[in-house]
Amino acid sequence: MKEISNKYLRKNMINETKIGKKLYSVGETYWIFYNGIRTMKYMSKAKKNQELNPKFIERIMLAVTEVNDCALCSYAHTKKALESGMNNEEIQKMLTGIMDDVPEDEVAAVMFAQHYADTRGHPTLESWQRILKIYGKSRAKGILGSIRTIMIGNAYGIAWSSFFNRLRGKSDPRSSLLYEARMILGTVLIPISLIHALISNLFKKPIIIF
């Protein structure tokens, strides 16, 4: 039954239109930071309560990074994944989109992570409800927090790594100097996004809207 469920997830999440590798705008990054700040506490709580182990979290983060194609995050999380106990072969497979070595009980979460990134942070209600059903509310919120935390790293990491690679004469073909300058200057919005997120948490706004 679990195998059938995971095949269904693959079909309905991975076959969605792939738009995740298009660079994020300053406006999108504001909301990525806002959502990440609101939910990263659930990742920490799930990790502390041993609902999500370090390998599970790193698999989620590698899956999102593969979709967004962030060189800086790929490097950083390869190191963290190795420290969590993942072997190099599995890490390299995940960074090329191959999920053969993902444990069966983690496949649904990894597929949802890819779906979340593919849809630029706008997953379907059906996909989220499925994650809630499979993992329960607490673990599902931890999974969402893990996804959104690495999305922050990806959104800013792509711009910064593109800029530094440009200085080395290896510019990202997706990027431009104007884009990189706009994103770097856009970091001035981080405090506003942080305050916005804290106010939303204070008033218990929904953590995900469809």
pLDDT, tens digit, 9 for 90 and up, residues 76-118: 889 899 999 999 998 998 988 888 899 999 999 999 999 999 9
Q: For 137, left (φ over 0), alpha (ψ -120 to 50), or beta?
A: alpha
Which of 10, 28, 5 lies closest to 179, judged by CA?
28
Q: Where are the alpha helices (DSSP H) in 14-124?
A: 26-48, 54-68, 71-84, 88-94, 107-118
What CATH number does domain 2-15+26-197 carry, 1.20.1290.10, 1.10.1530.10, 3.40.50.410, 3.50.50.60?
1.20.1290.10
Q: Which pLDDT score is estimated for 13? A: 47
Contact 98, 68 (CB under 8 A): no
pLDDT, tens digit, 9 for 90 and up, residues 145-179: 999 999 999 999 999 999 999 999 988 888 999 99
Q: Which pLDDT score is estimated for 14? A: 44
Q: Which pLDDT score is estimated for 22? A: 79
Q: Which residues contact 187 (CB under 8 A, 6 or more apart)?
A: 156
